């Protein structure tokens, strides 16, 4: 199943965090681990790429906004609010 905006997704592989992905420059993360979950906030269907937001589990604050490919993700839960 292809991810859609507002889907909860899980990483299938480890992904190195690029400097431009950090929401806060002080975020120490350099690696997103397989199994981490995030929310799709934007889809680019032409590139099959997705902007996925990962939160700090302790605070709920955004830590990383990553641009990921479909093959790096698995849909865990589909957002169905507002859909017919």
Determine, yes or no, domain membership for 83: no
Other beta carbons within 10 Å of 50: 25
Instruction: Map tokens 């700090």 to a residue.
Output: 56
Taking CA 78 as the corner, what is the angle to CA 72 and CA 80, rounded to the nearest 5 degrees?
155
Determine, yes or no, domain membership for 82: no
* HSE-CB for 72 with a 13 A CA cutoff: 20
Determine, yes or no, domain membership for 29: yes
Asked if residue 79 lies in contact with residue 9, where contact means CB atoms within 8 angstroms, the answer is no
The pTM for the full model equals 0.88
pLDDT of residue 73: 96
Which tens digits make up the pLDDT trace of 24-81? 777 787 899 999 999 999 999 888 899 999 998 888 889 999 999 999 999 999 977 7
Q: Total domain count for the chain?
A: 1
pLDDT of residue 43: 95
Q: Which domain holds residue 21?
A: 8-77
Alpha-carbon span 68 to 54, nearest angstrom: 12
Task: Give exposure, 51-71, as e/b (b: 16+ Cβ within 10 Å).
Answer: bbebbeeeeeebbbbbebebe
Identify the CATH number of the domain in which residue 56 sits.
2.30.30
Determine, yes or no, domain membership for 2: no
Residue 12 has pLDDT above 90, yes or no: yes
Determine, yes or no, domain membership for 3: no
């Amino acid at each position: 199943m292809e991810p859609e905006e507002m889907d909860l997704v899980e990483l299938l592989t480890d992904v190195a965090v690029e400097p431009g992905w950090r929401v806060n420059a002080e975020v120490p993360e350099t690696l997103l681990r397989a199994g981490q979950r995030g929310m799709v906030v934007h889809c680019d269907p032409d590139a099959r790429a997705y902007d996925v937001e990962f939160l700090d589990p302790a605070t709920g604050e955004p830590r990383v906004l990553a641009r990921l490919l479909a093959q790096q993700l698995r849909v865990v839960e589909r957002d169905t609010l507002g859909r017919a």
